[in-house]
């Protein structure tokens, strides 16, 4: 869906990139971030962790495999990671409206338009990436010709984005003998699939739900968007959970929330990690993994107390990629072991978590 209107991506440092609009004809503002993955945009666009962000893709040709059908399977989206597109806007170099894929039912532009999401193509997205790498993540506006321009740069970090994307009521998936509580802070569908496939009944709760009232074998804390320090209610519930002995596993934002509950601090990364090729190493071993990542904040490992230790470390920049308790079955990772998209090197961590829950 190409509407042939001019569009511009304006960064808060004054940089302007001009292109052509596709998708919805609307102007928006948000945080400009980049993803270096070569594929997987249906999963990325529906990842709640991108809420409030203008996503810039460095891979030059986007749209050639269209968009899959909006089908449900076992109460979950079959080909997506949530019930809707979460990005504010999409910026690419070369948009391909003529898609070709066995599972495609519409073009990327049509899909964006149906969800009222604007896109822009014809930009030098690698130059945008260079700017944000050197100067740090920044706010931006996508302005479409003939549409009202946002009056200010909207900073999504000032909002509790988790409250916006989390489920509003308790939901149950699967019928296994193992009961796992999933604290939904913006959870991806494949986290649920990975647990159900391993024999679990997954009880998905809102981000601020007191999950201590649920009888279960273990607790999973999901990924999600925004500043982890906004989730004070979730952190307080996790603090109660770590006084007990039931296994806990956190993913992405879940790593940050578990760390805050353990007394550590978090900070905003200069430009975040968003790709399918982030190398990490398990602390104290030679075991390295290639992982999918999508986060803008990190845990300050130096602030962990003596009961906790690093679990994984990023091999590119040395930042924290997970924590674990030295004596209790509590652990978390900053990357996405459920992948979709990306490599599945780390999926074994679900096996380990399920094994802990069965003990």
Query: What is the tens place of the pLDDT at every residue in 296-345?
Result: 999 999 999 999 999 999 999 999 999 999 999 999 999 999 999 999 99
pTM: 0.96
* pLDDT for residue 98 is more than 60: yes
* pLDDT for residue 1 is more than 70: no
Active site positions, annotated: 252, 336, 338
Tokens standing for 107?
A: 């073009």
Euclidean distance between CA atoms 30 and 265, whole angstroms: 25
pLDDT-based confidence at residue 192 (cuts at 50, 70, 90) = very high
The predicted model gives 282-290 an average pLDDT of: 98
pLDDT-based confidence at residue 16 (cuts at 50, 70, 90) = very high
CB distance 211 to 239 below 8 Å: no
Per-residue exposure over 3-30, b if at least 16 CB sit within 10 Å of its own CB, e if not? beeebbbbbbeebebebbbbbbbbbbbb
Euclidean distance between CA atoms 297 and 94, whole angstroms: 30
């Amino acid at each position: 869906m190409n509407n042939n209107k001019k569009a511009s991506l304006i960064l808060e440092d004054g940089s302007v990139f001009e292109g052509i609009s596709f998708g919805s004809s609307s102007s928006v503002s948000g945080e400009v971030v980049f993803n270096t993955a070569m594929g997987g945009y249906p999963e990325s666009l529906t990842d709640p962790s991108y809420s409030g962000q203008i996503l810039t893709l460095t891979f030059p040709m986007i749209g050639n495999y269209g968009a899959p059908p909006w089908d449900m399977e076992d109460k979950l989206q079959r080909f997506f990671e949530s019930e809707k597109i979460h990005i504010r806007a999409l910026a690419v170099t070369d948009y391909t409206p003529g898609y070709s894929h066995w599972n495609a039912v519409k073009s990327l532009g049509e899909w964006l338009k149906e969800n009222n999401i604007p896109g822009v193509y014809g930009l030098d997205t690698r130059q945008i990436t260079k700017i944000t790498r050197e100067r740090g993540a920044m706010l931006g506006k996508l302005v479409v010709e003939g549409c009202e321009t946002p009056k200010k740069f909207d900073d999504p970090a000032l909002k509790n984005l988790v409250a916006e994307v989390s489920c509003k009521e308790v939901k149950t998936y699967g019928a296994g003998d193992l009961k796992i509580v999933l604290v939904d802070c913006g959870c991806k569908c494949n986290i649920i699939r990975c647990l159900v496939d391993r024999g679990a009944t997954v009880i998905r709760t809102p981000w601020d739900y007191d999950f201590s009232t649920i009888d279960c074998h273990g607790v999973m804390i999901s990924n999600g968007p925004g500043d982890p320090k906004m989730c004070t209610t979730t952190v307080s519930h996790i603090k109660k959970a770590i006084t007990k002995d039931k296994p806990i596993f956190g993913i992405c934002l879940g790593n940050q929330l578990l760390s805050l509950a353990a007394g550590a601090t978090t900070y905003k990364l200069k430009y975040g990690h968003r790709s399918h090729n982030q190398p990490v190493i398990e602390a104290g071993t030679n075991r390295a993994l290639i992982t999918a990542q999508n986060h803008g904040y990190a845990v300050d490992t130096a602030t962990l107390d003596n009961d906790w230790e690093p679990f994984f470390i990023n091999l590119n920049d040395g930042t924290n990629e997970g924590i674990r308790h030295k004596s209790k079955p509590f652990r978390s990772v900053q990357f996405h072991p459920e992948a979709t998209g990306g490599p599945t090197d780390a999926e074994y961590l679900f096996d380990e978590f399920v094994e802990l829950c069965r003990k």
